[in-house]
Amino acid sequence: MERLGIAESDFTVQEAWDQYPIVGQLLEIWNATGRYVNTYVDQAYPVDHDVQRDRELQRWIDASARENDGNVSGLPAMDSKDALQRVLHSIVYRIMAHGGSRMYRSANPALTFVANFPPCLQNATIPNPTVSFSTQDLLRYLPNTGTIGSMLHFYFVFWASPTYLPFVPLGGIDTELFFDDPTSNQASIDLRRFIVGFIEKIEPDTPQIFQWERYIEL
């Protein structure tokens, strides 16, 4: 955001980011996942040396960076808690934010109203911007009916099908806990509680609590 010059003051009238709400929403998810990751790392790795001597962690990062394995560039050396927190925060945030793709509002009405959001041009010839068009000529550039149908089918697959595993367990936010220590499990509960509240805020009439996926699906 800093690199792109996106400042909160430029998109705020009454409440923070009320003129660019998706940025505020993603920042909420970023902050929530950061609290979760930091709590876990503090519990599992009390000091930097614990990170350095975790051989499984070191092998995982090494494989993630290799071209024929994970092929993820720019991963830092796992020599401190801060390095581990930054990597895990990035990964967990990306997975967590992807859950929003399962929400009804992720596609409707903005993306499914194709007349307002043409996704492509059906003519590969890019005209000079000074050229005048008749309505008939302009329509030749806009998406064909089949293209629109394919788009809608793609969107509907996400929000109109159930998740394999919902992020919030069907049994409640305090079930299916998997950490060995109560502090990390509480961090999981807190993150689940945040997601429930987040969904209820963006979909107050019909909150799709169990539509938010646990992993990146499809």
Q: How many CB atoms lie within 10 A of CB 182?
A: 11
Peptide bond preceding 109 in cis form (omega within 30 of 0): yes
User: Residue 175's pLDDT band (boundaries 50, 70, 90)?
Assistant: very high
Fold of domain 1-102+162-218: Lipoxygenase-1; domain 5 (1.20.245)
**Alpha-carbon torsion (62, 68, 69, 72), positive or negative:** positive
pTM of this structure: 0.84
CATH 1.20.245.10 residue ranges for the chain = 1-102+162-218
Alpha helices, H only, the chain: 21-44, 48-52, 55-65, 81-98, 135-139, 145-159, 182-202
Residue 112 pLDDT grade (very low, low, confident, very high; cuts 50, 70, 90): confident
* Rounded-to-10 torsion of CA 47, 48, 50, 52: 180
Calculate the average pLDDT of the chain: 92
CB-CB contact of 198 with 167 (8 Å) = no
